[in-house]
Amino acid sequence: MKRSILAILLASSVFLCACDRTQNAQPTNSAEEAFDGDDVREEFVFTRENFPRMDGSTSTVPLAEAIACVLLGEPRSDVAELVEFNRTTQSLRNLAAGLCDILIVSEPSPEAFAELEQQGFVYEIAPIATEALVFIVNASNPVDNLTLEQIQGIYSGNITNWSHVGGDDIEIIPFQRNAESGSQVLMDKLVMAGIGMIDPPTMKYMVAFSMGMLIDAVRGFDGSANAIGFTMYYYAEEMRMAEGLKILSVEGIAPGDDSIRNNQYPLLNPYFVIISANEAEDSPARVMYNWLLSAQGQYLVNSEGYIGIRK
């Protein structure tokens, strides 16, 4: 089916409901109210044949599915095959190797960007949404808030018992992600800030290789309140992956749509869209890149439960 961007957007207030993963979330405004008039561009027709090959982070898979759903005018179940994401660092490598055309990712590590520079690969990158790194514990854990210093102490191995941070007298078991995951990169950047995390052989510690694996590990560890882990706010809250768990406040501020949008919650970072700098102005990848930054694209970002850079 061929669909122009203009036609898709004019129908989006109806069609987004069909694309929504929960089948009950409604856009907050009509499609017409989302358009500010400065984003109307020449008509471009997305088809299965010219649709950009997408890649990116685990936490952006729902957004990518919605993009494909709307721009192709197909049911969400039919476009899922177009969204087989390889996680943050590997997706960046795939872009440089020409294996994909556009990325929707959390922030890659400095080492991943250094790889591109060594290869001479030139890219364009822009923020499309704001994300928060959040910490989760078992719902039975009495601790509701941690300071950044306490989190650093836990993950550096200097704080090993929950009683040291206002909890029960039990051992702390901190879970984390693999080194190349987007959430692990944010943990290093936003929390640890050069402080080394404890090495796996020195304690009861596990590395989760997917976002869902980490959340399940924290929820199910020993059936107790020992465990703590971190994940993306969208993944924990919007996708309800943290049911049975508790999302902690940090520095006395709970993560939420308002505290994130207003830059009050302390652990924030953008989601990005990335393409090769060599993409032609009329290439499908660049059209999608520009569209995600427009009022119309941001309308979709917000409708999907992400916190866009434009309201």
Residue 204 has pLDDT above 70, yes or no: no
More confident: 154 or 9: 154
**Is the same domain home to 139 and 245?**
yes
CATH number for position 213 = 3.40.190.10
C-alpha closest to that of 285 among 98, 108, 63, 86: 98
Same domain, 161 and 103: no
Domain of 176?
A: 131-261
256 and 139 belong to one structural domain: yes
In angstroms, the CA 132 to CA 232 distance is 6
- For residue 266, being part of any structural domain is answered with no
Q: Higher-confidence residue: 201 or 28?
A: 201
Mean pLDDT of the chain: 82
Same domain for 276 and 240, yes or no, is no
pLDDT at 272: 97
In terms of domains, do 91 and 35 share one? yes
Q: Is the pLDDT reported for residue 201 higher than 50? A: no
Residues 194, 93 share a domain: no
Q: Are residues 208 and 148 in the same domain?
A: yes
User: Per residue in 258-300, pLDDT tens?
Assistant: 999 999 999 999 999 999 999 999 999 999 999 999 999 999 9
Tell me: the pLDDT tens digits for 20-68?
554 333 333 333 333 344 444 457 899 999 999 999 998 899 999 999 9
Clarify whether residues 176 and 287 are in a common domain. no
Same structural domain for residues 204 and 230? Answer: yes
Q: Select the highest-mean-pLDDT range: 24-38, 161-175, 229-243.
A: 161-175
pLDDT for res 238:
62
Give the count of domains, the chain: 2
Domain membership of residue 245 (yes or no) is yes
Q: Which of 206, 207, 268 is nearest to 232 (CA)?
A: 268
Residues 43 and 90 grouped into a single domain: yes
Residue 150 lies in a domain: yes
CB 55 within 8 A of CB 91: yes
Residue 53: inside a domain: yes
Is residue 247 included in any domain, yes or no? yes
Let me know if residue 27 belongs to a domain: yes
Report pLDDT for 202.
Answer: 42
Say if 13 falls within a structural domain: yes
- Count the Cβ atoms, other than its own, within 10 Å of residue 46: 24
User: Is residue 82 predicted with pLDDT exceeding 50?
Assistant: yes
